[in-house]
Chains A and B, each alone.
Chain A
Amino acid sequence: MRNRLFLWVPLALFAFFAGLAAFMLTQPKDEFVESTMIGQPLPDFALKPAFGGLPGAAKADLVGGQPRLLNVWASWCLPCIAEAPQLEELRQKGVEIVGIAIRDRPEDVADFLARYGNPYSRVGSDPISEVQLAIGSSGVPETFVIDSKGIIRYQHIGDIRESDVPKLMAELEKAR
């Protein structure tokens, strides 16, 4: 018997890999990048109006009073259309929603809001994703809960589905 044991090494290594890969396949894949800004105060910003109909958005507009939602969206984003009814529902429940339109044009923003409804109190224009990146958002749409002190309390990634509305309401309540 020449040392035969080492002949089993490739199989052992492969078995380890296969086990690991099988384990990882069963894990839910979390594709989202969470903001490291949660729990931190909003960075300072002041954005110009995204279109003629509403004022722009600044940090000062999100501080004081009731907790608000900060919604990062764009007229060119399809999931943003899907979440429009849910935003409208939140607005009807008395939530103030401040929008940030990413890399957008005024006429497209106005067109989008005319077609799918306007839940916003203000919409700022962020043409080069400056504010978006500063608050730790990596895609559209994303929605943040901002408390009265201007601290980011919660981040929702992706479109808001019907089932997400209670969770957001609860987070807004917690931020009170």
Chain B
Amino acid sequence: MTAEIGLAALWLAAALAVLQMVSGFAGLRAPADAAHPLAIYTRPAAIVQACLAVLAFFMLLRAFAVTDLSLKLVAANSHSMKPFIYKVTGTWGNHEGSMLLWVGVLAASGGLLARFERRLPERTIGATLAVQGFVALGFYAFLLLSSNPFERLPVPAAEGSGLNPLLQDIGLAVHPPTLYAGYVGLSVAFSLAMGALLTREVNPSFARVMRPWVLGAWVLLTLGITAGSYWAYYELGWGGWWFWDPVENASLMPWLAATALMHSVSVLAARDALRTWTIMLGVLAFSMSMLGTFLVRSGVLTSVHAFAVDPERGAFILALLAINIGGAFTVFALRAGAVAEGKRFAAVSRESALVFNNVMLSAILAIVLLGTLYPLLTEAFDVRVSVGPPYFNPAAAMFAIPMLLVMAVGPLLRWREDKPARLQFELALLASVAIAVIALIAVLGDFPLLPLLGLGLAPALALAAVLPLRGRRLARVPVATWGMVIAHFGIAVSLFGMACEGAFTEERLAAVAPGGTEQVGDFAVTLDSVAPVAGPNWTAIEATLSVSEDGGPPVILTPQARTFWSPPQSTSESALLTRWNGQLYAVIGNQTEDGRWQVRLWWKPFVTFIWLGGMLVALGGVLAIAGRVRVDLRRRMAAQKGAERRADLEALGAQPVPAE
């Protein structure tokens, strides 16, 4: 029954999406002062639709939890012997299930918007929800017509074929749901941008409504990317933390757009500038999410993330993309000219620093997009290329470095107009820190240029991040400002980790006989023994390595080469030894003919700072949301009290006092 309830819920939700869309757009046709009779249905439709989509997702979750092998999806992706946690997370470890999660989050964010957002004019909300319904409808159609997750098998399978072993990891529990929630959270920004454009309400109050959604989505994307990077780092056993793989880029591009959007929406909220640009970014950010979905699932690009690839599904998503993004860009082209120009600002001001940051972020986005799509272009002419780090690293750095420099200074500038002379001390301080560190490190050793620049920039950025707090009473600094400080500090921490990893990593690849010792960094690694071990659904060769740091007491590490039997596949389970100043990374390889074992060891100084920085950035985002929401609630309560007082006074027959 579970599957049938889920399927029925999906169809009903799709029907409600139609109602939401029709009634929302109908509201637009009514004259400005009168409500359309249909308009009252928009909000309830969005809320009920959200409940139904979430219900459908929980039904699938249940089918996976109890391993209902009469469902095609469960039989193809699960196995009765799998550990329970991976049965549950396996729900979104496949195409249909992850698409259902996608749609569930899309509907849920629409529902939340409909339930709680009361600040915007009703027409704008109606248009926003209509767009949200329109987008959702497309994805319901995709699910129901071409990737039905609830399809039954004519005869229940005796046993499932199991989940890809790379996905049998706690990383799967965290990484996709956060990332999806982030991707899809951007849909609200997209719908709001469209709604504001359609009803010509591009103004600071619209920006204030949009900001928490953008921040929230951005926090989730940051966390999702950070988690994904760490997962790939320890699970794939290649020792790298970012591979510029198309799928990784697919998650990075919305993040870049969302980062730019978050900053420009702040300018719009605070200063009423950058109106058209904010709308553009709002459209772009969600477009990048959808583009990512298309690239990953259509199989037009080859990636290490082997998703169920199907050109027919690809065509469906491409059609959705064409309708949604093409439609949004068309509305943008027709309407954006009518959006009144925002307030102006001087060349040296916080606004222009933010504009510069936006332009640089967009340039990096363009670099990544170009690099990701370039193979697609050349393959059209039958040339196969693979674009990798030699392109991405320098090309992205070319724009990232100026952006980081401006990020250091921007928060110190005043809104509207400022004089560089006022910041002489700060600028000199930051420049001397960066130059001194670079000079020092360049003298000490011969390192590649990019890590060297990163090492110099990181301390300067860390210092710059806390400079806005200088001369302020810390207890009185707004929470949102703390958020900015911590997020910028996190960028510096992360950059430090990346630069250290790039500059100081030591690698050792050796064939070691049992009893033999290898030296990497300060560690002496001895191969004690190699023995077979077995887990619930795998067998493995496990090496026992005793690691001694500077001759200290040994610590045991056990890297494995695992073989899963359903589906048959082998994975390399790395073993990590974490110290405050870095990680020792060990992988066991094959046995050589003379009985020795290939052992691969890395000492990666400060590599953990990459993800620590990512978490700080996300924490900064959380604080920013908390600060904004608190101010907002206070403002709303004050407004409510004011209104009550006026009502009381009016009831007493006195003259109303002007509002604060």
Give chain A's interface residues, CB within 8 Å of chain B: 1-2, 4, 7-8, 10-11, 14-15, 17-18, 20-27, 29, 31, 76, 78, 127-128
Contacts and interface: CB of A to CB of B under 8 A. Distances in A.
B514 interface: no
A97 B377 CA distance: 41
B349 interface: no
Given A11-B330, A14-B329, A15-B326, A22 B299 contact: no
Contacts of B302: 31
Contact of B315 (A14, A15, A25): A25
21 contacts: A4-B337, A7-B336, A7-B337, A8-B333, A11-B329, A14-B287, A17-B373, A18-B318, A20-B377, A21-B294, A21-B300, A21-B318, A22-B315, A24-B300, A25-B298, A25-B315, A27-B379, A27-B380, A29-B311, A31-B302, A78-B568
Contacts of B66: none
Contacts of A31: 302
Contacts of A2: 337
A68 B149 CA distance: 48
Nearest to A10: B329
A48 B294 CA distance: 48
B366 to A, nearest CB: 10
B363 interface: no
Interface of B: 280, 283-284, 287, 294, 298-300, 302, 311, 314-315, 318, 321-322, 325-326, 329-330, 332-333, 336-337, 373, 376-377, 379-380, 568, 590, 593
Contacts, number: 62
A23 B298 contact: no
Which 8 residue pairs spanning A and B have beta carbons closest together? A11-B329, A7-B333, A8-B333, A4-B337, A10-B329, A24-B300, A18-B322, A25-B314
Nearest to B311: A25
Nearest to A127: B593
A20 B333 contact: no
B568 A76 contact: yes
A143 B631 CA distance: 70
A1 B338 CA distance: 10
A24 B593 contact: no
> Chain B CB within 10 Å — which of A14, A17, A20, A21 has the most?
A21
A18 B333 contact: no
Given A18-B318, A21-B294, A10 B280 contact: yes
A14 B283 CA distance: 12
A102 B294 CA distance: 36
B376 A14 contact: no
Contacts of B332: 7, 10-11
Contact of A20 (B280, B311, B314, B380): B380
Contacts of A76: 568
A12 to B, nearest CB: 9
A20 B376 contact: yes
A33 to B, nearest CB: 9
A14 B284 CA distance: 11
Given A18-B322, A29-B311, A76-B568, A24 B376 contact: yes
A15 B325 CA distance: 10
> Chain B CB within 10 Å — which of A4, A10, A18, A78 has the most?
A10
Contacts of B326: 11, 14-15, 18
A21 B372 CA distance: 13
Contacts of A7: 332-333, 336-337
Nearest to A18: B322
B379 A24 contact: yes
Contacts of B315: 22, 25
Nearest to B309: A29
A25 B318 contact: yes
B322 A25 contact: no
A22 B377 contact: no
A25 B377 CA distance: 12
Contact of A23 (B337, B380, B593): B380
B197 to A, nearest CB: 11
Nearest to B336: A7
Contacts of A17: 373
Nearest to B338: A4
Given A10-B332, A29-B299, A76-B568, A128 B314 contact: no
Contact of B333 (A11, A21, A25): A11
